[in-house]
Amino acid sequence: MIYLDYAATTPISSTALHVYTEVATNFFGNTESLHDVGDGALNILSESRRQLANYVNGHQDGIYFTGGGSESNHLAITSIVRAHSSKGKHLITTMTEHASVLNTFQLLEGEGFRITKLPVDSQGKVSVKDLEDTIESETIFVSIGHANSEIGTLQPLEEIGRLLKERNILFHSDCVQTFGKIPIDVKKLQLDSISVSAHKVYGPKGVGACYLSPNLSWKPNISGSVHEKGFRPGTLNVPGIAAFVTAVGELIENIEANAEKFVGLREHFLKAMSNDAKFKVEGHRSNHLPSILGIRTHGIEGQYAMLEMNRKGFAISTGSACSAGKQMPSKTMLSMGLNEDEARELIRISFGTSTSKKDIEGAANALNDILNSV
C-alpha cells in the first residue's frame, strides 16, 4: 500500500521513536515529584519546552503541552475567551475551520457569546476586508486556521494579525497542518495563541501543544489543576513530548528541502494526469501548502474514487468525514460556493517526506484509470 494521506497523520520517525523509548525507560518520573527521578523528567520537559518555543519564535513560558491538536484548540480558545468575557461577547472565526474549532465556538455560543463565521472565496481564502467589516466594539477574539486541511489554502495571517493588533483583539490560529512545513513566527504574525500536534510531524499520537503569549491572561478549564500551570490536568507524557520535539526538529531542519520536494511532486503528479476535463485542483493557486492536493473528480463521488484508489493500492482521503457509509459534503467546498453534489466530489492526496516520484506516478496512473472508466 502506497500511503498518500500524510495530512491525516504521519508515521513516527525512527529518531523520535528511539527518543521515546529512551525517555520512557530511563526518565519515567512524574515531573511534579520532588525526588531526583522526578527532576530528571522535569529537566527533559523544560528542555522540550525551550526547544518548541524556539521553533515558533516564542517564549518558553508560553508553551503548554496537551494531548493533541483538537484538545489544544479547545483549551486555548475556551481559556482565553472566558478570561476576557467582561470586555465583550463577540467572537469571529471562519466557515472552514477544523471541527475542534467549530465545535468549541458552538459550545461558547451556548454560554452567551455571539459568533460570526467568515466566508471564503472560490479558492478558500478569507477576505481581510470582510474581517475588518465584521469587527465591532464587542469583538474580543478571532480564530483563523493557518492552512485549510482539505485543499491547503494558506490564510493571510500576517495581514490579519496586523489588523487585530491595531484593534486590540486577541488572535488564535490552528497551525496543526503548517507546523514543521512552513516557518511560523508568532511575533511576526502577531499571534497571541497557536495550536500544534505531534502526529502531523512524524511524532507520536496523543501529544500536542499550545503557545499562549506569556503576557496573555487565561482562565483554567478545571480549577485546582497542578500540571502546566493549571492549563491542563493530568500527568504529562514526557516521552511523547520529547519524541514530538525531536520529530519536529528534524522537519524544521529540512524545511526548505522538503518544501522544494513537495512542489516538485505536486507538479509531477499534475503533469501525469491525462484527463483535465474530469478533474480540478481546488484551492489557492499560489498561497497553498504544496504537500496537499485537493482534487474534485467531476461526476464521481469522492468516496468512490477513494475506495477505488485503495483497491489499487493507494491510501488517500475524501477530505471530509463519512457517516453511515455516505460521504458528507465537504464544508470547505460548500463554503467556496459549490453545491452538495459537487462538494462530495473532493478527494485529498497529501505527500510526506518519504513520498517518491514513483509513488506519484503510480497514483496518477491509478486515478487516470478511475476517471476514464466512468
**Got the DSSP string for 60-94?**
GGGEEEES-HHHHHHHHHHHHHHHTGGG--EEEEE
In a domain, 179, yes or no: yes
**d(C-alpha 175, C-alpha 193), whole Å:** 10
Are 76 and 195 part of one and the same domain? yes
264-274: per-residue pLDDT in tens?
999 999 999 98
Decide if 136 is inside a domain.
yes
| Amino acid residing at 142 | V
Confidence of residue 228 (pLDDT cuts 50, 70, 90): confident
Backbone φ and ψ for 83, nearest 5 degrees, come out as -75, -20
- In this structure, the answer to whether residues 301 and 212 fall within a common structural domain is no
**pLDDT score at 323:** 45
Task: Classify residue 95 as left (phi > 0), alpha (psi -120 to 50) or beta.
Answer: alpha
How far CA 93 is from CA of 51, 105, 208, 230, 321, in Å, comes to 30, 8, 22, 26, 21
Q: At 326, is the pLDDT very low, low, confident or very high (cuts 50, 70, 90)?
A: low
What pLDDT does 30 receive?
Answer: 78
pLDDT, residue 53, reads 98
Residues 66 and 176: beta-carbon distance below 8 Å: no
Residue 323 lies in a domain: yes
Specify if 123 maps to a domain. Answer: yes
- Are 328 and 208 found together in one domain? no
Residue 296 lies in a domain: yes
Domain that holds residue 33: 14-252
Does residue 238 sit in the same domain as residue 110? yes
Per-residue pLDDT at 355 exceeds 50: yes
What phi and psi values does residue 348 have, to the nearest 5 degrees?
-125, 130
Domains of the chain: total = 2
Q: Which residues contact residue 149 at a Cβ distance below 8 angstroms, ignoring those fewer than 6 apart?
A: 7, 98, 176, 177, 292, 319
Q: Which of 206, 235, 252 represents a domain boundary (last residue)?
A: 252
- Does some domain include residue 9? no
**Residues 313 and 216 both lie in one domain:** no
How far, in Å, are 100, 171, 200 from residue 263 at the CA level? 29, 30, 19
pLDDT surpasses 90 at 360: yes
Across 187-216, average pLDDT: 98
Structural domain ending residue among the three candidates 204, 229, 252: 252
Are 186 and 331 in the same domain?
no
Higher-confidence residue of 278 and 13: namely 13
Three-state secondary-structure class, residue 330 = coil
Q: Which of 27-41, 163-177, 224-238 has the highest mean pLDDT?
A: 163-177
Cell 460548500: give the residue: 334
Q: Is the pLDDT of residue 172 over 60?
A: yes
Instruction: Quote the mean pLDDT of the chain.
Output: 94
Q: 90 with 150, same domain?
A: yes
**Catalytically active residues, by annotation:** 322
Residue 3, in any domain of the structure: no
Cβ neighbours for 98, distance < 8 A, ≥ 6 positions apart = 69, 70, 73, 145, 149, 174, 176
Tens digit of each residue's pLDDT (9 = 90 or more) over 174-183: 999 999 999 9
Which set of grid coordinates corresponds to residue 249? 526538529
* 364 closest CA partner among 304, 287, 278, 283: 278
Residues 6 or more apart from 233 whose CB is under 8 A from it? 222, 225, 226, 227
Nearest to 270, CA basis, from 283, 253, 254 = 283
Please indicate, yes or no, whether residues 320 and 350 belong to a single structural domain of this protein: yes
Q: Which residues contact 282 (CB under 8 A, 6 or more apart)?
A: 123, 124, 150, 151, 294, 295, 296, 332, 333, 336, 346
Assess whether pLDDT exceeds 80 at residue 23.
Answer: yes
**258 and 244, same structural domain?**
no
Boundary of a domain, candidates 232, 252, 272 = 252
Look up residue 126 and give its DSSP letter: P
pLDDT tier for residue 254 given thresholds of 50, 70 and 90: very high
pLDDT over 90 (residue 295): yes
Check: CB of residue 210 under 8 Å from CB of residue 195. yes
pLDDT at 25 > cutoff 50: yes
Residue 244 reports pLDDT greater than 90: yes
Q: 363 and 302: one domain?
A: yes
Q: Which residues contact 86 (CB under 8 A, 6 or more apart)?
A: none
Kindly give, in sequence order, each residue whose CB lies less than 8 Å from that of residue 190, ignoring residues fewer than 6 positions away: 158, 161, 162, 164, 165, 171
Looking up residue 184, the CATH number of its domain turns out to be 3.40.640.10
Q: Is residue 2, in this structure, part of any structural domain at all?
A: no
**Model confidence, pTM:** 0.94
Per residue in 70-116, pLDDT (tens digit) is 999 999 999 999 999 999 999 999 999 999 999 999 999 999 999 99
Q: Is the pLDDT of residue 324 over 50?
A: no
Q: Residues 117-131: what's their mean pLDDT?
A: 97
CA dist 147 and 154 (Å) reads: 4
Question: What pLDDT, on a 0 to 100 scale, did the predictor assign at position 321?
Answer: 55
222 and 312 both lie in a single domain? no
Flag whether pLDDT at 303 surpasses 90: yes
Is residue 145 within 8 Å of 101, Cβ to Cβ? yes
Are 285 and 246 within one domain? Answer: no
Residue 37: is its pLDDT beyond 80? no
Mean pLDDT of 274-301: 91
CATH number of the domain within which 272 lies: 3.90.1150.10
Backbone angles phi, psi at 202, to 5 degrees: 70, 25
